[in-house]
Amino acid sequence: MSHDATVHLLDLTASFADVTDPTPFGIYDADVSFKDDADGIVKMVHSKLGGNVLQVELTNKDVYACFEEAMLNYSSLVNSYHAKSVLADVLGAQTGSLSGSENKFARMSLSLAKRRADAFSSEALVGGTRALLSSSVDLSVGQQNYDLNYIMSASGLVTNNQRVEVREVYHTSPSAAYRFFDTTSAVNYLHNQFNFESFTPETIFYLLPIWEDVLRAQQLEMSHKIRRSNYSYSIVNNVLKVYPVPTLAAKMHFTYYLQGSGDDPFSSDNDPLVDGISNLSNIPFGNIQYSKINSSGQNWVRRFTLALSKEVLGLIRGKTSSIPIPNGELTLNSAELLMAARDEQDQLKNELRTLLDETTYDALSDQEARQAQNLMEILARAPMGIFVG
């Protein structure tokens, strides 16, 4: 097949496949549907711009370029609205290849909510991204104050005078047991599997709600921590002060965070999500294929191609405001073409944006809620039969 690099004005007999590098980027050159419609687009532009009466100063490649640009505009607008719908659920996911994901329906992941809750989880000691560490300090007879930062620096647990954030101090492991007493004071234990063992024949059992067991465990644990404890403490500037002054050597344990550890919001340590999707710019959406869009989308692309072609023609004619002809002068309509072309482009973009605004995931959820409410109101007015037994 021969290729002619020189194409003069609109040639309705030429074929997209016969043109060398027909589009600037070649993004859709391998799309069969795009190639099939490209020649039809040339005929449409030729007819709409009056080519059947006067020659149109465009080449086939000009129209092909406008066709590609129109498709890129459509893809960009649709992808931006799709990205807006799913951004909260894909944050932190791999960026990967910028193609394929635009044709997928993302599932809800609560990624944003869970990630923002990490800081609260760390503070509440129920998870999070900060590593909770533990250590101990040896109490000396007669010594009441203990500088935890100095002690940990001397022991090599922290370096460069790094401060620690103490979260909990204790000197004995908390313990709790469920104790049930019968009329003869026999002691029975309720195991984790809620099986009763070691009970006597005269044991009386009571059916109690689970929350009462939980409250009882908390009561016993608090009792062991306070009533059975001989020590109290205070911490000011990470200096541990023990009450009363120790009379025996003992150990006091504490849990702590290293100050600054996990505080950097952009640190990737043990957090691969930091290097994942962060905003609309790196969501892995590629250009939508022309063959993947439906007839209404393709019609929008054709109309936008015509508007772009009209703009190119206006720019070309604007290079020369008039052409001398025998016994007169031919005035070109550059200004009118440019104004009409840009108005049509704005109108088409606003039309597509309006449609996309109405079909984001949030908008669809609101629509379903309204439909469900309307259905309930309709059914509420339906006559109900009276059952007679």
Q: Is residue 350 part of a domain?
A: yes
Residue 139 dihedral angles phi and psi, to the nearest 5°: -80, 135
95, 282 Cβ separation under 8 angstroms: yes
**Continuous H helices in the chain:** 32-48, 60-90, 111-123, 148-154, 210-226, 295-318, 334-357, 361-380
Q: Are residues 253 and 156 in the same domain?
A: yes
> What mean pLDDT comes out for the span 28-43?
93
Asked whether the predicted pLDDT for residue 3 surpasses 50, the reply is no
> What mean pLDDT comes out for the span 294-298?
93
Nearest of 136, 146, 208 to residue 173 by alpha carbon: 136
Q: Is residue 222 part of a domain?
A: yes
Which residues form the domain of 313? 16-103+284-372
pLDDT of residue 192: 42
Asked whether the predicted pLDDT for residue 198 surpasses 90, the reply is no
Q: Are residues 213 and 317 in the same domain?
A: no
Residues 6+ apart with CB under 8 A from 115: 91, 92, 273
Q: Are residues 160 and 253 in the same domain?
A: yes
User: Could you tell me how many residues make up the chain?
Assistant: 389
Q: Are residues 95 and 141 in the same domain?
A: no
Nearest of 13, 355, 34, 92 to residue 22 by alpha carbon: 34
- For the chain, give the mean pLDDT: 80
Q: Are residues 151 and 238 in the same domain?
A: yes
> What mean pLDDT comes out for the span 318-330?
67
Q: Is residue 387 part of a domain?
A: no
Per the structure, the count of domains in the chain is 2
Q: Are residues 250 and 313 in the same domain?
A: no
pLDDT of residue 352: 94
Q: Produce one character per residue of 300-326: b if its CB has 16 or more CB atoms within 10 Å, e if not.
A: bbbbbbbbbbbbbbbebbeeeeeeeee
Q: Is residue 10 part of a domain?
A: no
Residue-wise pLDDT tens digits, 332-344 = 788 889 999 999 9
Give dist(CA 248, CA 77) in Å, integer.
74
Q: Is residue 11 part of a domain?
A: no
Asked whether the predicted pLDDT for residue 201 surpasses 80, the reply is no
Residue-wise pLDDT tens digits, 123-179 = 777 777 777 888 888 888 989 999 888 888 887 777 766 778 888 887 765 454 444
119, 128 Cβ separation under 8 angstroms: yes
Q: Is residue 66 part of a domain?
A: yes
End-to-end CA gap in the chain: 86
Residue 31 dihedral angles phi and psi, to the nearest 5°: -80, 115
> What mean pLDDT comes out for the span 1-14?
62
Q: Is residue 226 part of a domain?
A: yes
Nearest of 147, 179, 138 to residue 166 by alpha carbon: 147
pLDDT, greater one: 182 or 354: 354
Asked whether the predicted pLDDT for residue 279 surpasses 90, the reply is no
pLDDT of residue 54: 78
AA letter at 155: S
Q: Are residues 252 and 289 in the same domain?
A: no
Q: Are residues 92 and 31 in the same domain?
A: yes
pLDDT, greater one: 16 or 204: 16
Q: What is the DSSP string of 158-184?
A: S-TT--EEEEEEESS-------EE-TT
Q: Are residues 236 and 144 in the same domain?
A: yes
284, 96 Cβ separation under 8 angstroms: yes
pLDDT of residue 195: 52
64, 22 Cβ separation under 8 angstroms: yes
Q: Are residues 254 and 300 in the same domain?
A: no
Residue-wise pLDDT tens digits, 79-121 = 998 888 888 888 777 887 777 788 777 777 777 777 777 777 7
Q: Is residue 381 part of a domain?
A: no
CA atoms in the 13 A half-sphere facing the CB of 9: 7
pLDDT, greater one: 353 or 231: 353
**In 3-state terms, the chain is what percent helix, strand and coil (to 5)?**
45, 15, 45
Choose one of 241, 258, 275: the last residue of a domain: 258
pLDDT of residue 136: 86
The secondary structure of residue 289, as a DSSP letter, is P
Q: Are residues 190 and 306 in the same domain?
A: no
Residues 6+ apart with CB under 8 A from 169: 233, 235, 240, 252, 253, 254
Choose one of 200, 223, 258: the last residue of a domain: 258
Asked whether the predicted pLDDT for residue 304 surpasses 50, the reply is yes
Residue-wise pLDDT tens digits, 202-258 = 566 677 788 887 888 888 777 766 666 667 788 888 888 988 888 888 888 888 888
Q: Are residues 248 and 301 in the same domain?
A: no
Give dist(CA 34, CA 30) in Å, integer.
8
pLDDT, greater one: 164 or 378: 378
**Confidence band of 272 (pLDDT split at 50, 70, 90):** low
